[in-house]
Structure 1
Amino acid sequence: MTQSFSFDATDLNIVEQLRLNGRANNQQIAEKLGLTATTVSTRIKRMEDANQLRVVAVSDFSAHGFNVLLRISVEVDGRPASDVAHELADLPEVFAVHIVTGRYDIDMLVALHDFEDLAHFLLDRLSEIHGIRSLTPAIVVDICSYQFDVAPIEAKE
């Protein structure tokens, strides 16, 4: 069960320190903020328990040999979009799936090792999923912004 939670200035400062260095331990964060390690630990645990904070590792696509990124818009027919979306999300090449409004029902982001994988993914892998009426793939040619700390967090006064 999610607890009720409000961020204060100390929580925001702890989150900021984790954004700057996700490997920082509680003692290092405490020293930078003038707190005790116990206070930092307690607050991080409270934020995690309230599902307001999750510390994760992020890796670079190209460092792992993924050199092709695609955005694919999917139009669904004859099946609930949520069912198709969940099946798409199970594909290892797919790293994000969103049910959206507008002309398409689903948008997804796909990482492939190289262009030789493109035809196999589009024609073979996706053809196994029933309910896809049409696909509109777009190759990502440049990444202008790639942020994971985008959730706006405000302290309660």
Structure 2
Amino acid sequence: MVHEIDKLDKQILKLLMQDVTRAYTDIAKELNVSGGTIHVRMKKLNDLGVVKGAQLLVNPSAVGYDICAFIGVYLDKGSDYKATVEQMRQIPEIVELHYTTGSYSMFVKIICRDTKHLREILNERIQAIEGVQRTETLISLDESISRQITI
């Protein structure tokens, strides 16, 4: 669903996307509005689902997780999707999961400590899920771009 947001909403979003820790009062000063206006606008954007929250981003390598991999998952049948998602939700190393078109039924992004850890998660957890027919794993050598959409 597309929500109508005005120029001020877009300016607020742009500034917060550059630095989510920035104080609303600082944003208000820069945009020549009151701090209350920023609070009201952010509440509206949250209520509309335009803003899905704020998060602290941790560098996985800095905490010992050196492998990023993508796993294409083939399911026995499409009706296995919901049950498979619920089981994969229990695997903390899975950081993204997408229901896809094309060859794979699902596409998973996983962060692991090393290749041994990846193999354990893949063999003992993901491939053990009922309905998972087979998988194909691609290890990322470098993340060259990671960004949000431009507002």
User: What TM-score does the superposition give when structure 1 sets the normalisation length?
Assistant: 0.87
Instruction: In structure 2, give the amino acid aligned to 1:106.
Output: M
Q: Which residue of 2 aligns with 1:45?
A: 43
> Does the 8 Å contact 2:24/2:39 carry over to 1?
yes
What runs of 5+ residues in structure 1 fail to find an aligned partner?
A: none
**Higher relative contact order, structure no. (Cα contacts within 8 Å, ≥ 6 residues apart):** 1
Q: Which residue of 2 aligns with 1:69?
A: 68
TM-superposed deviation, 1:24: 0.9
User: What TM-score does the superposition give when structure 2 sets the normalisation length?
Assistant: 0.90
How many aligned positions are there?
149
Whether 1:7 and 2:10 are equivalent positions in the alignment is: no
Cα distance in structure 2, aligned partners of 1:47 and 1:119: 41
> Does the 8 Å contact 2:112/2:118 carry over to 1?
yes
Q: Which residue of 1 aligns with 2:133?
A: 133
Q: Which residue of 2 aligns with 1:18?
A: 16
Cα distance in structure 2, aligned partners of 1:5 and 1:132: 37
Cα distance in structure 2, aligned partners of 1:22 and 1:98: 26
Cα distance in structure 1, aligned partners of 2:127 and 2:134: 10
What runs of 5+ residues in structure 2 fail to find an aligned partner?
A: none
TM-superposed deviation, 1:134: 0.8
Deviation readout 1:86-107 (Å, 9 max, x if unpaired) = 3223211101111111111010
> Does the 8 Å contact 1:73/1:137 carry over to 2?
yes
Q: Which residue of 2 aligns with 1:114?
A: 114
Q: Which residue of 2 aligns with 1:57?
A: 56
> Does the 8 Å contact 1:89/1:96 carry over to 2?
no
> Does the 8 Å contact 1:85/1:98 carry over to 2?
no
Instruction: In structure 1, give the amino acid aligned to 2:38.
Output: V
Cα distance in structure 2, aligned partners of 1:17 and 1:28: 10
Are the structure 2 counterparts of residues 122 and 5 from structure 1 closer, same or farther at C-alpha, using a change threshold of 3 Å?
A: closer
> Does the 8 Å contact 2:65/2:112 carry over to 1?
yes
TM-superposed deviation, 1:5: 4.2
> Does the 8 Å contact 1:68/1:114 carry over to 2?
yes
Are the structure 2 counterparts of residues 31 and 100 from structure 1 closer, same or farther at C-alpha, using a change threshold of 3 Å?
A: same
Q: Structure 1 residues 59-68 or 5-14, which shifts more?
A: 59-68
Identity, % of aligned positions: 21
Cα distance in structure 1, aligned partners of 2:83 and 2:12: 38
